[in-house]
Amino acid sequence: MRTSLVFKATGFIVVLGAWQLLAGLGVVNPFLLPPPTRLAGAAYELITDGSLFRHLAASLERVLVGFLLAALVGIALGVLLGWSRLVSDFVRPLVECLRPIPPIAWTPIAILWFGVGNAPSYFLVFIGAIFPVFVNTFAAVRNIERTQINAALCLGARPGLLIRDILIPASLPIIFPGLRIALGIGWMCVVAAELIAAQSGLGYMIQQNRVLLQTQNVVVGMITIGVVGFAMSGAMSAIERRLVPWSQAAR
């Protein structure tokens, strides 16, 4: 475990070392790609003056609101369409038409509808995150084994109990990877939204520093996005292992 952790860190260290070296030798333009030492200094300043955390908090709040809405609606829609073929035949073509539209393409209309602020970000995260949740939930509900439903029915389960104790838990091992993907996409969407339609957040911070020609701050913002995204994915996996301990072994 320890060795593998050291091994995993080696990649970072090698890349950072080479980067620093190339900048020191003057091979890369330090304005276009500031060396790690300058980034560390910039990060220190952005942390100490509180602006990095302020922007990070704004982005996190937006992604969480949009993601939770998407999870709620996506799971409900997936269960409904997975359960009822009639509703599915009616709604599915519409959903499948909306799905290929990239969230970025929704940005102009989102600004027209919601103006500038939190609302367009919520909306864009929602648009980006809902489809993976929906698609996985739908597939999960469609693929539930008939005998498990029959077992529950002959034991006297009524619809409420059937959904809560059978349908949802049986689907969770497939819903969870959908949620993890959705959160990743939502995180990308929030940054994209903030580049254009917000006055705070990591995306806004990057955009503003580009205008001010503060490249080191732009790169610090990008790295923060990467690290936080990685951490969110890890957190989702940990939650998944806690909530669906049977999923690895049972499949």
List residues near another protein by CB under 8 A.
145, 147-148, 150-158, 161, 165-166, 169-170, 172, 244-246, 249-250
Q: Kindly state the smallest distance separating residue 161's Cβ from another protein, in Å.
A: 6
Q: Kindly state the smallest distance separating residue 170's Cβ from another protein, in Å.
A: 7
Q: Kindly state the smallest distance separating residue 85's Cβ from another protein, in Å.
A: 16
Three-state SS at 1: coil
Q: Around Cβ 104, how many Cβ atoms within 10 Å? A: 16
Contact 38, 216 (CB under 8 A): yes
- Pick 47 or 153: Cβ nearer another protein: 153
- Pick 154 or 213: Cβ nearer another protein: 154
- Pick 173 or 178: Cβ nearer another protein: 173
Return d(Cα 58, Cα 1) in angstroms, integer.
Answer: 35
- Pick 150 or 237: Cβ nearer another protein: 150
Q: Kindly state the smallest distance separating residue 78's Cβ from another protein, in Å.
A: 18
Handedness of CA 58, 118, 175, 101 (dihedral sign): negative
CA 221 to chain centre: 17
Of 91, 85, 57, the residue nearest 73 (C-alpha): 91
